[in-house]
Structure 1
């Protein structure tokens, strides 16, 4: 279902190859990029005009990134015009999603006309953001989230002294005293935001960190305490931003509307209390449809479009502010996953395919079974005959039950020293052959990468990504396989895949015959531009995939 999860950036072209449409639906036919042609150019010999690199590869498409940013901006601009919203949208990119230098610099460059900024969640990220934003719009926001010590706050206030539009968001009540103390030492008046711990949350894996039990955020009581302290010090004008986070991969606009509405009323009350409120930061949560099902019932999908997301946010803020008689705020979002996921494509090659049933058949065929069977203990002969009898009758269920019981009893006898290794192997092989149809057993496809390094979210949280061949898509696949990486860890495999019109997980990826062909067989993992590179470590000391930018 490339047309589901891949639209409007990925299609299958007339050659049966995956192609990229860098400008979305506005891409001209002549602008489509054949991914297989890119791969051949990259891995081709230098003597033949290639780059002489090897898989695995990460192929970046900066134009896709640009289109994502412009689409987000356009969605909010359109919603604000249609709803007569009296302010504007100004986004920031959370650096934690992908800290690659070129990704961050591209976002700053593409976002300059829209005063698009960056969000940092740590001291190293703040340093990276400051360096990158030297070329940003002077109005671009530099939002400082995360745990803050004195050094972090000093760095953020130094950024403000250097004329960055830097906002320190308080995540914990005690951070206010640190900000006030450091600001006095540096003689810099801070711009402060508060992160509200909303009661609204959504279910599923990604909503587990939201709601009242979230890791960060201030309760209503703590927010009021901060207001009173700032008011007492004559610094209430420093409080200008309200931040909140409903959770990643918000599944539907109903949950979004509840959360934004709750936050908008908090924002309005802060303004009524005298704070110099200007910005409401809706955080992350703008999801992408990994399955292509447009479902609100799955962690891997969302039931809304970009335009519907923006319209719901604008409406919730507008209604609350109008009711309270408060000026419409600047709306800021920290949409990282939705910005960078589509622009990056992981390509890896197949090393070998191992079909279990064929190998078992060959192994059993290579044995002289009669002496081995005749040598079985008498207590196993009855079970052996039952397995063969049920198999001959075509009663697979009964045959499987008897086979599993026989294998378990054989293991006991083997550990007692009453059964030889060849006999144990014979029984195992025969039982594997008769216990389940060959169609139910996927082949094992060994691929040239580390799952832990390149697709860590699959291993860690069961996140599914679209995976498919990038060529030969005009041929019918005849092999169903799971993917096994080249690491020494037993968890280094992908055994569940997105499938069908209803999404969900399927055991086995449809592939084309691989053996006997001279050309490499390449697979691609899509929508992995957020978090996967940032989380990947040095597992088994595998090299970093070669990175290619297609411009």
Structure 2
């Protein structure tokens, strides 16, 4: 069957859901699409090389318009939900800057919406926001996290300076210190409560009674008593709770919203009549593996509006959310320069008449199989065999025959009806490991650290040869001296359409399954090409670590202002600064990255 562009789009998730801004042209080149205008990644890379000193560098691509479009999408989703349920109160979005503190992110959010609020979780983040919002004091700053007396003193000074602030209370001591240091006017309080429901998602464990964050019910009673005793109930304007992060459980969101709505009603009945807002925190996910509903964000918004319409029809509180990942993840793509390829097996034989014939005869017995289960048994049996170690040529021919056997068995494996029943077995995962690897000039730890820290999935897409059937699947090695420095997982699309690589790796399945490598169109081409890792704009710039003293990649801005604008935002992190962090001084003459990376006009 002839391979189609739509097949590649399915395999890589291109052009749909959270990769809607990517497309493939007729030549099989990957394109960026903004406002109907297209530019190939080859052109972006070519311009980067023309304007900078970095000939073989990877870089981070920053696209502010994708932040603006996500903001518009979120606000539109809640506007449509409010109209659907005739919900009269407003929706107010907040950005938690812990997700990405980058200046271009914060400035883009400010430019994208006139009242978008911000959340700080530490004193350092609070000071950052005071700087960023010095001319935007009408925007709400939510102060979450632990707040010592020094932090509260800074908040007091900001209130006196005219900033609009809401302090989220999470302990009895915190409310005591807050009321002791701050005045009794010109700011708001929020009670942050533990969500007594459990939701499913990557960080769903942060919900429920055992959550790290929020007041337990007993503590809620204590802080209520303190507000009533101090006669400052008017300060409480918001109920706040957080369901967890990257939550993919829509039914869980409904249970969560119902719980918070009930607590809100009980507080109103207790006499907290100035309570006007429910802050539902974060949790809105990004579709990293292209498996969520197309309209997930719309369904997410409708859940909160529907629940409040039914549970609080007369009160109708203002709805607030703190989506971070959903706003920034799309805005950064890591563009990885490939510099080498490796084969796990021998690709050519040494002695056809002796070694190949000898081992080929023995391998033939392992090809007599009657089921996918039988394939795994025969392969495991072959792998338990002791390889010949008498001379290198014999070992080479053994590995050559092993590769041939593996490929023939793989084709048979996917042809048997029982293969899906075997997919979750350890033997199947070993059997379906890639036979090739690509090395990229980057550090996993610095560019997509969550891959190592929390096993976060990131898709990987070649920039060319997307108009042909993938040749095989590969692992991506970084240049660190660490075995965790690789991208070696591919979440296969769920589809009834069966698609295969040229060497018979099945790429699509009827149920969720992950392969140990991602598909690529032309293996030889990737000795000197580029790969794109999208959805890297949330947390990756924050959790990065300089393993092997490999620092930040260059930052490249791409924007569409009538015409395409491509410019270097920041050069690669200098070796001098990396060494200074560990207490050493580097002579500038020994540092190839001492300047900003731009080419001289001379």
When normalised by structure 1's length, the TM-score is 0.83
- Give the corresponding residue for 2:311: 320
Q: Is 2:528 the partner of 1:534?
A: no
Alpha-carbon offset, residue 215 of structure 1: 0.5
Higher helix residue share: 1
Q: Is 2:443 the partner of 1:477?
A: no
Q: Deviations over 1:171-204 (max 9, x none)?
A: 22221111122226xx866521111112112134
* Residue aligned with 1:490, SS: coil
When normalised by structure 2's length, the TM-score is 0.76
* Residue aligned with 2:92, SS: coil
Contact (CA 8 Å) 1:242, 1:279: kept in 2 or not?
A: yes
Q: Deviations over 1:250-289 (max 9, x none)?
A: 2233211111111012112212222221221110011122
Over the residues paired in the alignment, what is the CA RMSD in angstroms? 3.0
Q: Deviations over 1:75-132 (max 9, x none)?
A: 21222233222210111101011111111111122122xx111011111111111211
Contact (CA 8 Å) 1:445, 1:483: kept in 2 or not?
A: yes
- Give the corresponding residue for 1:119: 119
- Give the corresponding residue for 1:99: 101
Contact (CA 8 Å) 2:351, 2:393: kept in 1 or not?
A: no
Distance 1:165-1:421 versus aligned 2 partners, 3 A rule: farther
Counterpart-to-counterpart distance in 1, 2:205 and 2:189:
27
Alignment of 1:249-288 (within 5 A): 249-275=246-272, 276-288=274-286
Counterpart-to-counterpart distance in 2, 1:248 and 1:19:
30
Q: Deviations over 1:491-524 (max 9, x none)?
A: 1111111222355422222213343789x41110
Alpha-carbon offset, residue 393 of structure 1: 6.8
- Give the corresponding residue for 2:553: 545
Distance 1:483-1:52 versus aligned 2 partners, 3 A rule: closer
Counterpart-to-counterpart distance in 1, 2:256 and 2:247:
10
- Give the corresponding residue for 1:436: 406
Alignment of 1:163-202 (within 5 A): 163-183=162-182, 190-202=187-199
Counterpart-to-counterpart distance in 1, 2:49 and 2:491:
28
Contact (CA 8 Å) 2:438, 2:526: kept in 1 or not?
A: no
Structure 1 gaps of 5+ residues are 295-301, 374-383, 411-418
- Give the corresponding residue for 1:210: 207
Contact (CA 8 Å) 1:161, 1:188: kept in 2 or not?
A: no
Alpha-carbon offset, residue 474 of structure 1: 2.1
Q: Is 2:204 the partner of 1:219?
A: no
Distance 1:393-1:191 versus aligned 2 partners, 3 A rule: closer
Counterpart-to-counterpart distance in 2, 1:125 and 1:348:
31
Counterpart-to-counterpart distance in 1, 2:358 and 2:41:
55
Higher mean C-alpha deviation, range 208-217 or range 144-153: 144-153
Alignment of 1:340-379 (within 5 A): 340-357=328-345, 360-362=346-348, 365=350
Counterpart-to-counterpart distance in 1, 2:481 and 2:42:
30
Counterpart-to-counterpart distance in 2, 1:445 and 1:436:
20
Distance 1:191-1:303 versus aligned 2 partners, 3 A rule: same
- Give the corresponding residue for 1:299: none
Distance 1:389-1:515 versus aligned 2 partners, 3 A rule: closer
Contact (CA 8 Å) 2:60, 2:334: kept in 1 or not?
A: yes
- Give the corresponding residue for 1:153: 152
* Equivalent pairs, count: 501
User: Residue 522 of structure 1: which of 518, 530, 533 is its match?
Assistant: 530
User: Residue 85 of structure 1: which of 67, 84, 87 is its match?
Assistant: 87
Alpha-carbon offset, residue 346 of structure 1: 1.1
User: Residue 13 of structure 1: which of 25, 31, 49 is its match?
Assistant: 25
* Residue aligned with 1:147, SS: coil
* Residue aligned with 1:174, SS: helix
Counterpart-to-counterpart distance in 2, 1:76 and 1:471:
38
Alpha-carbon offset, residue 168 of structure 1: 0.9
Distance 1:224-1:490 versus aligned 2 partners, 3 A rule: same
Counterpart-to-counterpart distance in 2, 1:470 and 1:464:
19
Alpha-carbon offset, residue 424 of structure 1: 9.7
Counterpart-to-counterpart distance in 1, 2:465 and 2:385:
43
* Residue aligned with 1:198, SS: coil
Contact (CA 8 Å) 2:338, 2:439: kept in 1 or not?
A: yes
- Give the corresponding residue for 1:37: 43
Distance 1:367-1:542 versus aligned 2 partners, 3 A rule: farther
Alpha-carbon offset, residue 387 of structure 1: 8.9
Alpha-carbon offset, residue 433 of structure 1: 4.7
Counterpart-to-counterpart distance in 2, 1:127 and 1:509:
42
- Give the corresponding residue for 2:490: 497
Distance 1:53-1:521 versus aligned 2 partners, 3 A rule: closer
Counterpart-to-counterpart distance in 2, 1:171 and 1:101:
29
Alignment of 1:381-396 (within 5 A): 388-391=361-364, 394-395=367-368
Q: Deviations over 1:449-490 (max 9, x none)?
A: 111111111122221122111223223321321111111001
Counterpart-to-counterpart distance in 1, 2:32 and 2:252:
33
Counterpart-to-counterpart distance in 2, 1:368 and 1:386:
10
* Residue aligned with 2:287, SS: coil
* Residue aligned with 1:143, SS: strand
Distance 1:406-1:387 versus aligned 2 partners, 3 A rule: farther
Q: Is 2:241 the partner of 1:248?
A: no
- Give the corresponding residue for 1:71: 73
Distance 1:20-1:430 versus aligned 2 partners, 3 A rule: closer
Structure 2 gaps of 5+ residues are 1-9, 370-374, 411-431, 496-511, 560-602
- Give the corresponding residue for 1:135: 135
